[in-house]
Amino acid sequence: MEEECYENAEIKKINAVKELFDNFATRSMAYDFHHVIGLVKFDSFVKTLHTFTENLEKFKEHLRDLKASGCTLLYDALRRGARELEKVKERFPDCRLRIICLTDGNDSGSQTEPVAVTVKLLKSDVTVDSILLGNVENNMVHGISNATGGCCFKPQTTKDGLKLFEIETVLSLEQRKPKKKLDASSISEVGDIITFLALVNKWTIQAPFFLISTLKKKIRESKDGRFMEKEKRILEELRSLHCDPHPFFRVFPSESDFSFWRILMQGPPDTPYQSGVFELYCQFGPDYPVKPPVLRFVTNVYHCNVNSVGRICHNIFDRNYSAHITMKEIFDAVYGLLIIPEPDDPLDSILAEEFLTSREMYEQEAKRHTEEHAGKSLDDM
């Protein structure tokens, strides 16, 4: 762990671990994910540095004192993690259990064998996500992650590593599609683990969309009092956007579920996004309009306030939201972000730094990215 982590950056692996876990805690708080986390260090000994807590600032304080020394008891540490998580499960039976293992992938000195620890993890229903640091290949760690329904990542640069924990599906198990796990009874030798390499399917949005006649029928039904408050409000928003359309947005509600909208947005003129047409989706949850809808980009967009899975950072979705906010106002806010980014409140810290230190480069890359990913016309979409 004292070796350098990436070829082109003089950063030691132990410092990379600190940075990545710090980013995990920071983003968990920013996204309001309810994580209860502990910290286990493994070198010549396996030691629990911090018991489970919801106080992520305390967790970050313990990270600063991490030092590397001696061996790497990786498999023993995984076994310790499984035992500690079993205790949590006893108190909170509905919680999901996960180990995030940041390592150079090289076990040395563990008394626990990889087969035994994999069986233990599966029986305890613990998912292992692993992040391999540095120039290392380790099919065993990769296999354990896949066998337990987790993922194995190998960032090539510091930037790639930090961006991992800006992705919601990496931050939270609740945000990802479940993966198949290996049956614990089928594991008898190391080869059984290594050969189980699952494919991660990309989640795609597929839904049929309203015809105007269907929309008019829904509006008529709403006048008959057949709808609850949420449905009435959604139809009010649709009616408003139909009668007074937003000049840069087109809305296509799903025919089977009109609380789900497909949205097309034209990029703002005189910005790097002006030649683009961007696809978004909007999902109105059960608590709408008390709570805001979920609005995300489907089209990949190069922007410091939008992360790699389309989440948008704007105060209209949290502290500035109220039940009186209309969808047109929300569209205006998102459109405004593309005109004037807010680097002081970013979702992508790397792009925010680029915007502040090299704005011309940022805008050139945003323009190139738009041409590549959002180059279709409205009619082609």
Question: Would you list the DSSP string of 344-378?
Answer: TS-S-HHHHHHHHH-HHHHHHHHHHHHHHHS-S-T
SS3 91: helix
Cα–Cα distance measured from residue 126 to residue 83, given in angstroms and rounded to the nearest whole number? 10
Question: Would you list the DSSP string of 318-343?
Answer: TTT--TT--HHHHHHHHHHHHHS--T
Contact 39, 25 (CB under 8 A): no
Q: Beta-carbon neighbour count of residue 328 at 10 Å?
A: 15
Query: Residue 307, by phi and psi: left (phi above 0), alpha (psi -120 to 50) or beta?
Result: beta
Does residue 282 have an active-site annotation? no
Question: Would you list the DSSP string of 94-139?
Answer: T--EEEEEEE-S--BS-SS-HHHHHHHHHHTTEEEEEEE-SS---H
Cα–Cα distance measured from residue 76 to residue 41, given in angstroms and rounded to the nearest whole number? 11
Nearest CA to 326 out of 244, 213, 217 is that of 244
3-state secondary structure 238-267: HHHHHHCCCCCEEEEEECCCCCEEEEEEEC
Question: In this structure, are strands 126-132 and 152-153 parallel, antiparallel, or unpaired?
Answer: parallel
Residue at token pair 């497909």: 262
Catalytic residues, which ones? 313
